């Protein structure tokens, strides 16, 4: 059996990195603290290398370093690196940049722990570390009323979700005598009363909150609109990767095979997915703020991921969800980086403020359109292939396995995609077609921002052309 310290090397590197950044904040003189961002990038890169060479195993029934965590770790660390690179160029005040880097690393650390959690205790700790860092990132803009409101709403909804989750966990322990997923599953394989089902649903509230699925989505539009766009790029992607990984592990380990998603849990996931897709689509088209539109779309994308998981068991639905997460992550980060530049220059991300963007910044506006088209599912970009993969799994389970509710959910996905595309086109129309008064020549973009946009654009196009991506991911999960 592999040494637990070796298994947890990536998490250990990030944890040490948080301390190193805070110490550097104390020791470095004023005016030289902007270099701390480079430390954060190198820490995540070192953790990424460690994740590539570390093995698989379990740590005292608390953490499970399995195929799911192997997939989640690179996504979490790469997304963090991209946001850190952009943030280093945006953070102009040296006094606050080290704290921002420490928060980003803390968010990544909490996500890594959550993605590997196989016990209620580690699940709660990972989610809370993510939440505490997210609260501060959402309200980062000092003196900004919208940012303060975003942070406060994130705290209030997060506290409510945390309380419900702890309430459910306490009942699960009282009913089963176990906190680890596998032990709970062994007890429930003998009997699964309604009280346990209710407790499991309460315990999953924290995961649903991080995914921002209906009915735990209310915070997302206001937080996305008020928080800095760079912070939103992290908050909208990193927690989703971790929450999806632990949700899959929880379903596979905790729920007995005869009550797995093909039965009652499949219905519950399908209903949550359809509600999220419909709410996201029809509320996004009424919004007149680009970041708010992206927020509502994030709810719909989370619903699509849940729809893929509703087709469990088997590696193919997990592969579809993983591919969708990858496509969503690069497009979402790219779009929000573009909106961050426009917001900093124009003072707002409202559609009216984006008028004339194509004339002022043609390349940046073109990149924004590329990412929005991917989120909308326009071929041949990554978003189209990702949606097709989820749709294929839902239709296969509905037609071949007799789960008609998944067929209905697949039709809802098609309809909501068409409606959501109109919301994205509102942003494109404002930035490309609407004229604006002449504006001064904008400053050159920071090299880090350009590099991140190039990487995200290349990944968006490359993933869209990776036709055997689903098969490769399924094989890495143990499938054929």
pLDDT digits 0-9 by tens, 174-192: 888 888 888 888 887 776 6
pLDDT value at position 328?
93
Extract the tokens encoding 261: 């998603």
pLDDT value at position 397?
80
**Eight-state DSSP code of residue 312:** -
Nearest-angstrom CA–CA distance, 420 and 236: 18
The answer to whether the beta carbons of residues 100 and 87 sit under 8 Å apart is yes
- Rg, C-alpha atoms of the chain: 21
Please say if the pLDDT value at position 262 is more than 60.
Answer: no
pLDDT value at position 463?
92
Average pLDDT of 280-303?
87
pLDDT value at position 75?
92
Average pLDDT of 451-479?
88
Stretch among 234-243, 268-277, 439-448 having the lowest mean pLDDT? 439-448
Per-residue DSSP letters for 221-287? HHHHHHS-HHHHHHHTTHHHHHHHHHHHHHHHHHS-GGGSTTTHHHHHHHHHHHHHHHHHHHHHTT-
pLDDT value at position 251?
84
Please say if the pLDDT value at position 218 is more than 90.
Answer: no
Nearest-angstrom CA–CA distance, 359 and 434: 10
Chain-centroid distance of CA 267 in Å reads: 23
Length of the chain: 480
Quick one: which of 247, 123, 257 has its CA closest to 188? 257
Please say if the pLDDT value at position 479 is more than 70.
Answer: no
pLDDT value at position 438?
61
Confidence grade of residue 260 (pLDDT, cut at 50, 70, 90): very low
Higher pLDDT, 35 or 24: 24
pLDDT in tens, 7-33: 888 999 999 999 998 888 888 777 677
Average pLDDT of 197-221?
83
Extract the tokens encoding 341: 């530049």
The average confidence (pLDDT) of the chain is 85
Please say if the pLDDT value at position 95 is more than 80.
Answer: no
Query: No. of H helices and E strands in the chain?
Result: 22, 2
**CA-based torsion, 164, 167, 169, 171: positive or negative:** negative
Nearest-angstrom CA–CA distance, 254 and 260: 9
Confidence grade of residue 143 (pLDDT, cut at 50, 70, 90): low
Please say if the pLDDT value at position 401 is more than 50.
Answer: yes
Helix H or strand E segment including 64: strand 63-65
Nearest-angstrom CA–CA distance, 26 and 40: 16
Please say if the pLDDT value at position 441 is more than 70.
Answer: yes
> What's the pTM value of the predicted model, to 2 decimals?
0.92
Extract the tokens encoding 354: 């984006």
Quick one: which of 310, 276, 301, 300 has its CA closest to 393? 310
Average pLDDT of 395-408?
79
Higher pLDDT, 313 or 333: 333
Confidence grade of residue 257 (pLDDT, cut at 50, 70, 90): low
Average pLDDT of 149-161?
84
Confidence grade of residue 258 (pLDDT, cut at 50, 70, 90): low
Share of the chain above pLDDT 90, in %: 28
Nearest-angstrom CA–CA distance, 49 and 70: 12
Extract the tokens encoding 447: 């090299």
Omega before residue 380 within 30° of 0, cis: yes
The answer to whether the beta carbons of residues 251 and 261 sit under 8 Å apart is yes
DSSP SS3 for 57: strand
Stretch among 71-75, 288-292, 377-381 having the lowest mean pLDDT? 288-292
């Amino acid at each position: 059996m592999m040494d637990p310290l070796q298994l947890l090397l990536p998490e250990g590197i990030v944890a040490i990195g948080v301390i190193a950044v805070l110490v550097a904040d104390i020791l470095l003189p004023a005016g030289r603290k902007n270099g701390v961002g480079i430390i954060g990038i190198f820490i995540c890169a070192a953790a990424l290398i460690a994740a590539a060479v570390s093995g698989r195993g379990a740590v005292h029934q608390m953490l499970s370093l399995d195929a799911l965590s192997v997939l989640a770790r690179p996504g979490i660390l790469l997304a963090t690196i991209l946001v850190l690179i952009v943030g280093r160029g945006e953070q102009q005040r040296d006094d606050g940049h080290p704290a921002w880097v420490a928060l980003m690393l803390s968010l990544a650390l909490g996500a890594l722990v959550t993605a590997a959690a196989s016990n209620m205790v580690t699940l709660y700790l990972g989610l809370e570390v993510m939440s505490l860092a997210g609260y501060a990132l959402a309200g980062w803009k000092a003196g900004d009323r919208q940012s303060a409101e975003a942070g406060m709403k994130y705290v209030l909804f997060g506290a409510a979700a945390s309380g419900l989750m702890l309430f459910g966990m306490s009942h699960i322990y009282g009913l089963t005598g176990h906190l680890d997923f596998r032990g709970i599953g062994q007890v429930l394989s003998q009997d699964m009363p309604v009280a346990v089902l209710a407790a499991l649903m309460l315990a999953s509230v924290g995961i649903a909150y991080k995914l921002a699925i209906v009915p735990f989505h209310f915070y997302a539009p206001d937080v996305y609109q008020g928080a800095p766009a760079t912070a939103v790029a992290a908050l909208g992607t990193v927690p989703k990767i971790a929450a999806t990984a632990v949700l899959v592990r929880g379903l596979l380990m905790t729920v007995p095979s005869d009550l797995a998603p093909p039965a009652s849990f499949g219905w519950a996931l399908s209903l949550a997915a359809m509600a999220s897709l419909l709410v996201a689509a029809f509320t996004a088209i009424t919004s007149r703020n680009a970041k708010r539109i992206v927020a509502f779309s994030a709810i719909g994308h989370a619903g699509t991921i849940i729809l893929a998981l509703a087709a469990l068991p088997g590696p193919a639905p997990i592969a579809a969800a993983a591919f969708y997460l990858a496509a969503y992550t690069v497009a979402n980060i790219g779009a929000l980086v573009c909106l961050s530049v426009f917001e900093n220059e124009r003072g707002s991300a409202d559609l009216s403020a984006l008028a004339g963007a194509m004339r002022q910044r043609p390349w940046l506006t073109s990149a924004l359109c590329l990412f929005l088209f991917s989120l909308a599912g326009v071929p041949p970009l990554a978003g189209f292939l990702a949606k097709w993969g989820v749709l294929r799994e839902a239709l296969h389970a509905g037609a071949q396995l007799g789960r008609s509710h998944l067929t209905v959910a697949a039709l809802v996905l098609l309809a909501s995609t068409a409606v959501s595309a109109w919301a994205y086109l509102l942003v494109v129309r404002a930035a490309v077609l609407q004229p604006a008064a002449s504006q001064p020549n904008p400053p050159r973009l920071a090299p880090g921002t350009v590099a991140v946009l190039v990487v995200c654009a290349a990944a968006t196009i490359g993933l869209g052309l990776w036709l055997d991506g689903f098969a490769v991911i399924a094989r890495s999960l143990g499938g054929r």
